[in-house]
Amino acid sequence: MTTTTTRTAPAAAPPPPDLAPAELAALHGLTVSGARPSLPAYVRQLWGRRHFVTAFATARMSAQYSTAKLGQVWHLVTPLLNALVYYFIFGIVMKASHGVADYIPFLLTGVFVWDFIGSSINSGTRSIHSNIGLVRALHFPRASLPISTVVQLFQQLLVTMGALAVLLLAFGQMPRPSWLLAVPTLLLTAVFAAGCAMVMARIGSSMPDVSQLMPFVLRTWMYSSGVMWSIDSMLAKDAFPHWVTLALKCNPAAVFIDLMRFSLIDSFPAHALPPHVWAIAVGWALLAGVGGFVYFWKAEEAYGRG
């Protein structure tokens, strides 16, 4: 008869009683729930959720006018109605069209580009607070939310840019090689808008009342960006110093709007652009895009708490 003996593993030694909670957690491989990852790891996580970002944006776009009879047509009708109102007020009543060649293409281009920038920032401000249930229930890079709002609005912008091309043809603007410049202009504008949306998403998550102020801030910014009027023509009438004109023309919204006008409108001259305009556009896009992303990431562990 054979007798077998079973060896039991020695019991693990208890941890020293004087360990701090953080040291005890590290000893057992525990980490803080929702801790902020390193910036490279965060970028990798966000890239891994890219399909979620695009699907979430597409679903929001499809649902936005799902109860309206005209449905997705409103994505196109809304900026056109805005342009019609601005044309009546600024072009006819306030005579802002005087001295501006091809004023209707000038106005349409400005309204379509501004609508994307302003809507991205306004929606980004509410992107965390309005999805607080999702933030608290699931673990994912929170930057997905403001970025998805910009992706949604960029999808709408591509639709309206197609309509803009048709309208430009109707008003006598023929396709030319400079129309290709609209592509890098759109991409730079999207990077800038995404960066601003992330900045405002962090601010809006801790101070929800900011979202109530944003329409007033954005309206002021719109009026100072030459959306409905020519900065050069208007300021020349009152003999403002050159630096005032240059400062207004170098503000990021005006830079992206005027680059789009230069790309698409035959009569928009190069001298209407600020010096080194492409360098300025790239600088604004990098400053907002990279700076906004880092600023948002810095508060990653705070979203949805409190």
What pLDDT sits at residue 249? 87
Whether 222 is covered by a domain: the verdict is: yes
Whether 242 is covered by a domain: the verdict is: yes
CA dihedral (208, 209, 214, 216) in degrees, to 10, reads 170
Backbone angles phi, psi at 65, to 5 degrees: -120, 30
Specify whether the CB–CB gap between 79 and 226 falls below 8 A: no
**Residues lower than pLDDT 50 in the chain:** 1
Whether 165 is covered by a domain: the verdict is: yes
State the helix-helix crossing angle for 252-264 and 182-206, rounded to 10 degrees: 160
Q: Going along the chain, which residue ranges are E strands? A: none
Neighbour-count burial of 252, counting CB atoms closer than 10 A to its CB (0-12 exposed, 13-18 middle, 19+ buried): buried
Whether 30 is covered by a domain: the verdict is: no
What pLDDT sits at residue 191? 97
pTM: 0.85
pLDDT in tens, 65-119: 666 666 667 777 788 888 888 888 887 887 778 878 889 999 999 999 999 999 9
Q: In the chain, what is the greatest distance between 2 CA atoms, to the nearest angstrom?
A: 114
What pLDDT sits at residue 259? 95
**Those residues with Cβ within 8 angstroms of residue 190's Cβ, 6 or more apart along the chain or in another chain:** 116, 150, 154
Angle at 30 between CA 27 and CA 33, to 5 degrees: 155
Count the Cβ atoms, other than its own, within 10 Å of residue 292. Answer: 25
d(CA 134, CA 132): 5
Whether 161 is covered by a domain: the verdict is: yes
State the helix-helix crossing angle for 277-297 and 252-264, rounded to 10 degrees: 130
What pLDDT sits at residue 71? 64
**C-alpha distances out from residue 83 to 46, 91, 160, Å:** 36, 10, 12
State the helix-helix crossing angle for 182-206 and 277-297, rounded to 10 degrees: 30
Domain extent, residue 186, equals 37-301
Q: What is the DSSP letter of 32?
A: -
Whether 9 is covered by a domain: the verdict is: no
What pLDDT sits at residue 215? 93
Whether 20 is covered by a domain: the verdict is: no
Q: How many domains does the chain have?
A: 1
Whether 10 is covered by a domain: the verdict is: no
- In the chain, the amino acid numbered 31 is T
d(CA 151, CA 190): 8
Specify whether the CB–CB gap between 162 and 114 falls below 8 A: no
